[in-house]
Amino acid sequence: MPEEIDDPRLSAEGELALARLALDAGDYPHAADHVAAAIAHAPTMPEVHEVLAQLAARTSGGLDFFPLDEHVYIGVVVARAHLLAAAGRPGEGLELLAAATGHAPTADWAGVPWVGEPELPGRVGPEQLAVVLMQICAGIPDPVPEPERAPLLPYLALARHGVAAHPRHGLLLGAASALARRLGQPDLAVAWAARGAREEPSKLTEVWLGYAYRSAGRVSDAVTALRRAIDHDPEDLSVYADIAGTLADHGRLDDALEWIDRALAKDPSFDCAVHTAHRLHYRRDGELRHLVALADFQRDHPDASHEHNDLAECCHGLAWLGLLPPAGESVVHLVRGAAADRPAPRDVWVSALEPPSAMRLVTAAFPNTPITVESVPEPDPRTPRRPGGQPLWRYDGTVAEPAVGEPSPAAAEKVRRLAHPVWPHPPAAYDAAVALATLELDDLLGLLVHPPAPPANELGRALTEHDPALWVRCVQVWACLGLLHHRTDEPWIGSTRRRVLLDVVWGVEDWTTEAAVFALMTAGWVDPAVRADVAEIIGERLADAVRVGRERPISIAWSLGHLALGTPALSAEAAAAAHRLIATHDPFPPRRARRPGPFRRWLARRANRNSLRR
């Protein structure tokens, strides 16, 4: 349902009023359109179903007015489902409701009387009922978060009635078990799956039983059931991967790797085994090479990898691999305080000049507040780390001003729609940034120093209220990813995209430095041919930060260390330097011992929305 609707019932009543007028005028197509809109707003509202029944009575069932076209509206699908049930075809109706649930699982599509009738499974074959339950399971996470379970409970009641009507049908029992475990009913899932495996021993019923045992925390029983599934089909290597995943999730990593090695010995290219193997090896030793190898496999085998989330699972919540870290400058803490409605300071004293993006942010947050910079340490942070190239900033004393023009409104709107502080993994961020490939170079550079206002949505409001600096950093990161897509027809060495990113990397020490290094790091993830070059560049930038850090503080040092450790093919010497930099420059040490605040927990939930499904 559209997010802008504040009162779904009121919206449905408005659509019903128009539907009744159309019915009275004999304009049945328009009446059907309004009924479909009403049912999308309020799928269980009795008045909606009354008007739908009136339309059906006047049009020989009404099905012709709710066709399943190529781009069908969800309200049409749900209305047709109810009409099919009324026409004596409830199995087809259930399939359409399941499709609607897969599209919008938090809407109560099935909370209607006919779905809850105990006699319904007697009018639907057990095979079709099992297919419906499997269709529902395919569209929901495992497990479903508790606050999102209520709209799915009518399907669990349907499963209960189905099992009662067909108590010896193994496929139905297994599918019912799969739904029960997703809805937080592990004991019921075990009971149904165990009965299904007894009635119809097969690979599939044993796999369902293994999953049910796993959800109940009975690891040994789960492995035993999955072993029996292998006995039914020794060549199904996905079951080997399931055993490995089960063992790993319960701390038996060595046993898990033994099982995955068995699968790879049979087929070194089997996608489930490859994904699981890289994930488990990364869990054991934390070496980035496993994740990079997995990214390479996904790139080379896109059809076999699109359903796997192992790489995203490993990168989740890690600085730069899956999450944009917050800024650590002292002036940023003042801005966060202002966003939290603390009184604005009467004046701002900064002991040492901080990066231009941070200083611009505090100036914008407190336009009428005098800002005094007590010192400019050496080496001078206003000076590019290497001469030449396109400068982004110019200084008048300690005041930084953009050295490039503002981006076009179209470019600002594009990045506003795209920028986000969370991504599944670097290749996914690169793929998403292709939307910026058509922007002009001047626009991309302009975005780095003239970030547009945050979007007027949930993300924009959260960043404005909790961490305005993070939005600026988001824009800079995505603009640099856009630079990575600029003129990709040019060979990497000597390309415009490489030259411009290097200008930013070696320019004035700033958040834009981090963003450009991230873009280069990402290039190393997505293109093996440029890895050595990228690793050398980032190693050199890291070494420069180490040298400067011996003479003055570097607020971006901790971040540069994490960027280096996320870079494929980084030398052992550079990796050791990155670890030392992180250990000595952590800008958030007091906060790491505390429970994450509400904003960080909100970001984590956003990152978890694409949860692993089995």
Residues ≥6 apart with Cβ < 8 Å to 371: 347, 348, 350, 359, 362, 363
| Together in a domain, 174 and 88 | no
What integer pLDDT is reported at residue 5 of this predicted model?
Answer: 46
What integer pLDDT is reported at residue 611 of this predicted model?
Answer: 35
| Together in a domain, 41 and 131 | no
| Together in a domain, 85 and 184 | no
What integer pLDDT is reported at residue 341 of this predicted model?
Answer: 67
CA distance linking residue 214 with residue 224, whole number of Å:
11
Alpha helical stretches, state H, 439-550: 441-449, 458-466, 468-484, 496-505, 511-526, 531-549
| Together in a domain, 429 and 558 | yes
- Region of 566 please: left (phi>0), alpha (psi -120 to 50) or beta: alpha
| CB 210 within 8 Å of CB 227 | no
Q: Where are the beta strands (DSSP E) in 179-298?
A: none
* Structural domain ending residue among the three candidates 216, 234, 253: 216
What integer pLDDT is reported at residue 610 of this predicted model?
Answer: 39
Q: Is there a domain that residue 291 lies in?
A: no
- Provide the 3-class DSSP secondary structure of residue 327: coil
| Together in a domain, 425 and 571 | yes
| Together in a domain, 421 and 568 | yes
Q: Is there a domain that residue 268 lies in?
A: no
Domain count, the chain: 3
Q: Is there a domain that residue 338 lies in?
A: no
Structural domain for 41, as ranges: 1-67+78-96
Place of tokens 């040298």: 547
Place of tokens 């209607």: 112
Residues ≥6 apart with Cβ < 8 Å to 293: 278
Q: Is there a domain that residue 385 lies in?
A: no
Counting Cα atoms < 13 Å in the Cβ hemisphere of 258 gives: 5
CA distance linking residue 129 with residue 132, whole number of Å:
5
| Together in a domain, 4 and 133 | no
Q: What DSSP character marks residue 95?
A: H
| Together in a domain, 177 and 62 | no
Burial 250-265 (b: 16+ CB within 10 A, else e): bebbeebbebbeebbe
Q: What is the DSSP string of 168-180?
A: T-HHHHHHHHHHH
| Together in a domain, 85 and 134 | no
88-94 CB contacts, 8 Å cutoff, 24+ apart: 88/123, 90/114, 90/120, 90/123, 90/124, 91/123, 91/124, 91/125, 91/128, 91/129, 91/132, 94/124, 94/128, 94/129, 94/132, 94/158
What integer pLDDT is reported at residue 613 of this predicted model?
Answer: 31
What integer pLDDT is reported at residue 603 of this predicted model?
Answer: 63
Q: Is there a domain that residue 602 lies in?
A: no
| Together in a domain, 456 and 418 | yes
What integer pLDDT is reported at residue 70 of this predicted model?
Answer: 84
HEC sequence for 52-89: HHHHHHHCCCCHHHCCCCCCCCHHHHHHHHHHHHHCCC
Q: Is there a domain that residue 369 lies in?
A: no
Alpha helical stretches, state H, 301-355: 302-305, 310-315, 330-339
Residues ≥6 apart with Cβ < 8 Å to 135: 95, 98, 99, 102
What integer pLDDT is reported at residue 65 of this predicted model?
Answer: 97
What integer pLDDT is reported at residue 44 of this predicted model?
Answer: 97
| Together in a domain, 92 and 132 | no
| Kind plus residue range of the DSSP H or E element containing 373 | strand 371-373
| CB 233 within 8 Å of CB 239 | yes
Q: Is there a domain that residue 191 lies in?
A: yes
Sign of the CA dihedral running 310, 314, 319, 321 = negative
Q: Is there a domain that residue 412 lies in?
A: yes
What integer pLDDT is reported at residue 605 of this predicted model?
Answer: 59
* Structural domain ending residue among the three candidates 183, 216, 249: 216
Residues ≥6 apart with Cβ < 8 Å to 455: 416, 417
Positions of the chain with pLDDT under 50: 1-5, 590-596, 609-614
Of the candidates 462, 464, 468, 425, the residue with the CA atom closest to the CA atom of residue 601: 462
Reported pTM: 0.82
CA distance linking residue 391 with residue 405, whole number of Å:
12
* Structural domain ending residue among the three candidates 216, 235, 268: 216
Residue 28: burial class (beta carbons within 10 Å; 0-12, 13-18, 19+): middle
Residues ≥6 apart with Cβ < 8 Å to 305: 271, 275, 297, 298
175: domain CATH number is 1.25.40
| Together in a domain, 90 and 159 | no
Ramachandran angles phi, psi of 47, nearest 5°? -60, -30
